[in-house]
A and B are shown apart, each in its own frame.
Chain A
Amino acid sequence: MIRAVLLFLLLALPAQAVEPDEMLADPVLEARADALDDELRCVQCRSEAIGSSNADWARDARLMVRELIAGGATDAEVLDFFVERYGEVVLMRPRAEGANLVLWLAAPAMLLLAGAISITYLRRRSVAAPDDGLTTEEQARLDELLGR
């Protein structure tokens, strides 16, 4: 909320990110590097990918991504390279393994649960006997009003 108010941290970074001198000449490789820039977190920033951060660390990381790619590394190898050195915190998309399975499966599980509950509910509602609409208390009040 009030991101507005709270932007104090953008302090360091009116995000400019990738500088012209960092880019690879080969557009195919640069496109891959660009995609990886969004998958890697700048570990010195607050929840920002290296692709959108101006911090020096992010710049070094972008250069490293390009160096690895130019050296023939696959995307997975680039990610592994960073995870080895900085831990999983460097990945913007947590790997779907171990405890993180809970994160990835939470939504589908919740959907199934909600689906099951609502099917039960819908079944019940479709056969529920329509009630006469008035409680005994209300009926008594109605009778009183009607002078019965």
Chain B
Amino acid sequence: METQRWKTGSGTEDPADPDACDNVNRSDTRNGLAHGCAIPIVFGMVTELGHFALILAFLVAIVQSVVPMVGAHKRWPGWMAVAEPAATVQFLLTGFSFVALTYAFVTSDFSLKLVWQNSHSAKPMIYKISGVWGNHEGSMLLWVLILTLFGAMAAWFGNGLPPTLRARVLAVQSSVAVAFFAFILFTSNPFLRLAVPPFDGQDLNPLLQDPGLAFHPPFLYLGYVGLSICFSFAVAALIEGRVDAAWGRWVRPWTLAAWVFLTIGIALGSWWAYYELGWGGFWFWDPVENASFMPWLFATALLHSAIVVEKREALKAWTILLAILAFGFSLLGAFIVRSGVLTSVHAFANDPERGVYLLAITGVFMGGALVLFALRSGAMESTGVFRPVSREGALVANNILLAVSCFVVFVGTMWPLIAEMLWGQRLSVGPPFFNAAFTPFFLVIGAILPLGAILPWKRARLARSMSPLWGALVLAIAVGGLAYALTSGRSALAPFGIALGAWVVFGAATELWTRAGRGKIGSKLRRLGNLPRADWGKAVAHGGLGITFIGIAALTAWTVEDIRVAQEGESFDVAGYEVTLVDVQRVQGPNYVSTMAEITLDRDGAEVARLFPEKRVYPVAGMPTTEAAIDNGVFRDLYVVIGDPQENGGWAVRTFIKPYANWIWAGCIIMALGGVLSLSDRRVRVAGSARKPKAPGVPAE
């Protein structure tokens, strides 16, 4: 096995004396050096070099958090200039450290404690790689890698920033990195060795051995940690004592990028829960889910309020506050998840020491930034003047609704903790509470969104702005009515939610159409094509939200569920589908054993789907997982799950017909796409980098 390890790793093994190396490697993987064998030394040392690089990155981060800050204060260009190369070096060192850890996972180096705990030599390669971040220590390393990546990107693309602001942004960003480097090195070091390397690993939690989950954490972290750069901009601006339209223009692309990643990350997690947990739920209001949802709500609010700063020089102090809160809640989320104060379906290893450390990080950065905010926000004079009924007013409403809905999630998540601390009373706050307390805010957001998005800046007349939207409203009501007619006798909630979603979608389409101006259809289309990408992005993102609304409303109200015992060969009817349990077999997978059923679904005598749901047992980790089989469709998912064998010889079979399920995640992806479109707008690129466009031309806007 050890032979295998360095052979696969090197690929260029020394043909001269492979056996000598082999023996050395077998006898002692740690001290190949002492035996004078070149190749194992190099590859055995990769982990040590990775560890060393991490420590170096920590030191660079300390320098970067102090020197440019002093330089900016004293106006010393040389000191300020330290920030940029330091940010690059910090990123490269952390990147090397991450690659070293990945290498240890890929080559199954079980002399590393973390690899032994979370990997297994028989695991497919993709999950060996995703195993790097499928645990506390590795995921913290990924976290800090992304932190330094954003710092480096701010250095690379920040040439257009005033030098003092740039130095301060990079210094603040680096001080966050210092805290996390210290956290990793002192409490969660991924590079710890085992004195006696075991023969094989303990395997990654089988639930994490899934393509949806393999990429869920990196996206989520890009989102959480991406918000750190907004935080750094906010704190730097507070220190600088100046926030203007340019600041809004610099901050918005970063917020947008973080928001896009966060949206994708949350959608991936929700999609995974839908197909993996075996009953087709898509959101559980679990503390850990809430921990990811709160930064998303704040990031969404920040995205919108930064527009007001950029275009109208108003809402400055509020935008700064949102930037602080958005990242503050990312930190709080890290604390909630990793400290174990809130028991959750997703509990990590609970370690009080780590919890205290993370709470301290959260407290220092959030608290420090808020104190700074209290001291300096008075200087943020807004200059824009506008009437309450205006785009600015609508964006204020958007921000209030998002912030208060986030507050609901926050209070609900923390309430069990608060109640236990203050009254010693044990309580649960579950989905029924959140559904009741949170949903109304999003219904109102959906209701006012199309009108708010179309209101002119400064002052607006409601009747006039509403006039192009009447068509969309009538259409939306018609869609709702159709939904109601199709499902008489059920709750009115679904038709209402669907009408609301349709209103948002049609409203977004109407907005684009009115932006195209008057005239012949050809010229309208041409103007439509020439609209700035940011306008397209806005409409697409809003449309995506509407689609998600429709998906959630339809799935919640119209799911058909059938649970029964079926014998092999038996057929039964579920909502017009003839379901047949054809066969159940035992199948051997690479690192699991599976009970696989074959189930057909027929409609009107024709086969619609042939599905193979599984129940897997991973012997190494010793736990079962459910692999639902799903026939995805635009208008419905057919979702079947095989359960346990019954005493009378049959099998428990669950069949779900889930209408419009995919619209939920399609909507999220469309939202994210809208963000990407907006990010690709020429104006953002111009603002975000110093590179001037080569052909200025006459912009369409």
Q: A residues bordering B, Cβ < 8 Å?
A: 1-11, 14-21, 23, 38-39, 41, 45-49, 52, 87-94, 99-100, 103-104, 106-107, 110-111, 114-115, 118-119, 121-123, 125-131, 133
Contact = CB atoms under 8 A, between A and B. Distances in A.
Nearest to A11: B623
Given A110-B407, A123-B388, 8 more contacts: A3-B289, A4-B213, A14-B276, A14-B624, A15-B626, A47-B430, A103-B429, A122-B396
Contacts of A9: 344-347
Chain B contact-residue range equals 35 or more
Given A18-B563, A122-B393, A1 B333 contact: yes
A126 B385 contact: yes
B239 to A, nearest CB: 18
B408 A8 contact: no
Contact of B643 (A6, A19, A47): A19
B564 to A, nearest CB: 5
Contact of A23 (B286, B291, B563): B563
A104 B396 CA distance: 24
Counting chain B CB atoms within 10 Å of each CB, the highest count among A10, A47, A92, A111 belongs to A47
Contacts of A45: 345
Contacts of A47: 286-287, 343-345, 428, 430
Nearest to A42: B428
B686 interface: no
Given A4-B216, A14-B625, A123-B388, A93 B430 contact: yes
Contacts of B208: 4-5, 7
B652 A19 contact: yes
Nearest to B641: A16
Contact of B419 (A48, A52, A99, A111): A99
A129 B213 CA distance: 54
A123 B347 CA distance: 47
B382 A4 contact: no
20 contacts: A3-B292, A3-B346, A5-B133, A10-B346, A16-B643, A16-B652, A21-B646, A39-B432, A47-B343, A47-B428, A90-B428, A94-B427, A99-B422, A103-B411, A103-B433, A107-B405, A114-B400, A126-B387, A129-B385, A130-B383
A7 B430 contact: no
Contacts, number: 218
B407 A2 contact: no
Counting chain A CB atoms within 10 Å of each CB, the highest count among B278, B336, B643 belongs to B278
Interface stretch (B134-142, B495-503, B573-581): B134-142
A103 B415 contact: yes
B269 interface: yes
Contacts of B221: 2
A10 B428 contact: no
Given A2-B337, A15-B277, A10 B288 contact: no
A21 B553 CA distance: 30
A18 B273 CA distance: 18
Nearest to B419: A99
A121 B437 CA distance: 26
Interface string B326-370: 000010011011000001111111000000000000000000000
Contacts of A122: 386-388, 393, 396
Contacts of B396: 118, 121-122
A1 B387 CA distance: 39
Nearest to B412: A103
Contacts of B346: 2-10
A65 to B, nearest CB: 15
Interface in B262-296: 269, 272-273, 276-279, 281, 286-289, 291-292
A52 to B, nearest CB: 6
B428 A125 contact: no
B565 interface: yes
Contacts of B269: 3-4
The 9 closest A-B pairs by CB, nearest first: A92-B430, A93-B432, A6-B346, A89-B426, A6-B348, A3-B346, A14-B626, A122-B388, A46-B343
Counting chain B CB atoms within 10 Å of each CB, the highest count among A1, A11, A125 belongs to A1
